[in-house]
Amino acid sequence: MQHLPLIPAPTRIEIADGAFRLVATTPVSGELADLLADELHTITGARPHVGGHGKIRLRISGEGRSESYHLTVTEHRVTLTGADRAGLRYGIWTLVQAVRRSGEGWEIPALDIHDAPRFAYRGFMIDVVRHFFDVATVETLIDRAARLKLNALHLHLSDDQGWRLEIASRPELTAKASGTAAFGDSGGHFTQADYARIVAHAASYDMIVVPEIDLPGHTHAVGVAYPDLVEEPVLTREMLDTVEAFGGDVPVKGEPCTSIPVGFSQLRIHHEPTYDFLADVLGEVAALTPGPLVHVGGDECLGTDPADFAYFMERVTTLVAGLGKTPVVWHEAGAAEGLARGTVGQFWGLRSNDEQVAAKARTFPERGGGVILSPADAIYLDMKYDEDEPLGLTWAGFVSLEQSYDWDPATLIDGIGEDAVLGVEAPTWTEKLTSLEELDHMMFPRIASAAEIGWSPAPEGHAWRTWTSFSGRLAGIAPLWEAQGIAFHRAPGVDWR
């Protein structure tokens, strides 16, 4: 059977003979008809008429699994029914990917698709700290990720190099600690109005925003604004080596950090004003965020005593839970016994099972929380593709496109099966990335692997869930990505036409 260039692969698809011919006058009607008309305009250059009784009919049924849809294309009509608004929109993205050239015109092959996501959480992360990206850039990335059926944007808003979100009750954070970025490049921050615009833009695609305030490490910038709240930097040999390798200065408490070592900063843990600060910051963050999740970090506290770390993570997750949000933490925090019940763990280990990491990850489902999977040697999109790649980092090795596709959520971590997995997230750290073009290059096409692994059924018994099919479909989708202006990388392994 021929594989249409649909990514992520639909759950069930039948392709028939014949096609629906798309002409400039083809009318589109029903809910979200304007969205489909705009998308068709991008591809064909003509905007169909909206309204009346269209030959292309869109509808929300209010029945069936959330985010699911049913798409039927015959020679005479196109019928798309979403269970809800998100499902209808996902069906539109599928329909748009199925449009193909036919002679001088355009057509959609006759087909029948029933589709629904495998996992509820399908995310991507942007680090706006190491380098800052403005609202317009973030919105563009939302547009692109949404079209791959991703539904969560994790924003990494604070780190050693800067504080990127205005906090009204703690104005010094952005006044003093947002001006610079990695390597002394200029920084920036989101006002609360900017953040609200991002949240609203994401919501217009039924995408949630997951804000991250990284704690108790990765907090050098807090000390630039409020020196009383942080310890002196921990100068380990490893840390000095990274400063040496990547350039920049050794961080000095109270001065902006322009280098990219990790693990040297920490909040003062046995100090009550730290928790007053966190109540203010996280209170505002929770109030600004309609989504259910607030990320509080917990990664790479290399100089922190394990008992202090556990005490801190217990308090901060309890604080977030008290604000009515579900805390999310990086997997290291699984070591803390008293985490708030239901805390979600984000795994960023490697695909080769490391028993110590797996043991930390398993603690989350044991305490009623799900696990979000971000295996670094597969979907850390800041990893270099290969030795010819000028951008990005290599600590998890080179990550080819094929490798990004080569894993499955249900078998990644010993003792964590399908039911414990909340979903998949592809992070893009930005130490070495400074523009939308560079982000595009690193994210596309590997973000498509994350999208398919998060949405499509498990490979067993699904003919499209193979590397050969996926790479073929990527080649087929390239013209659409070009029409959408995505500066994707023509990664080896795909027969890009």
**Which residues of the shown chain bind ligand TNX in the complex (CB under 6 A)?**
262, 299-300, 330, 348, 380, 382, 393, 429, 431
Pick between residue 92 and residue 328 the one whose CB is nearest to ligand TNX.
328
Say if residues 184 and 157 touch (Cβ distance below 8 Å).
no
Pick between residue 195 and residue 348 the one whose CB is nearest to ligand TNX.
348
Pick between residue 217 and residue 472 the one whose CB is nearest to ligand TNX.
217
Say if residues 309 and 334 touch (Cβ distance below 8 Å).
no
- Picking from 346, 271, 330, the residue whose alpha carbon sits closest to that of residue 121 is 346
Q: Smallest gap, in angstroms, from Cβ of residue 346 to ligand TNX?
A: 8
Alpha-carbon distance 338 to 312, whole Å?
A: 10
Active-site entry in 231, 300, 332, 438: 300
Is residue 402 annotated as part of the catalytic site, yes or no? no
Pick between residue 166 and residue 299 the one whose CB is nearest to ligand TNX.
299
Pick between residue 108 and residue 357 the one whose CB is nearest to ligand TNX.
357
Q: Smallest gap, in angstroms, from Cβ of residue 59 to ligand TNX?
A: 42
Distances (CA, A) of 351 to 204, 274, 379, 406, 414: 34, 36, 10, 9, 11
Counting DSSP H helices and E strands in the chain, the numbers are 15, 17
Which of helix, strand or coil describes residue 444? coil
Distances (CA, A) of 409 to 118, 120, 217, 415, 460: 10, 13, 28, 12, 13
Q: Smallest gap, in angstroms, from Cβ of residue 299 to ligand TNX?
A: 3
Which of helix, strand or coil describes residue 223? helix
Q: Smallest gap, in angstroms, from Cβ of residue 371 to ligand TNX?
A: 14
Q: Smallest gap, in angstroms, from Cβ of residue 414 to ligand TNX?
A: 21
Say if residues 189 and 165 touch (Cβ distance below 8 Å).
yes
Say if residues 34 and 50 touch (Cβ distance below 8 Å).
yes
Kind plus residue range of the DSSP H or E element containing 396 = none
Neighbours of 340 (CB within 10 A): 21
- What is the per-residue DSSP string for 364-377? HHHTT--EEE--HH
The structure tokens listed for 73 are 């294309």
Q: Smallest gap, in angstroms, from Cβ of residue 158 to ligand TNX?
A: 11
- Active-site annotation, residues: 300
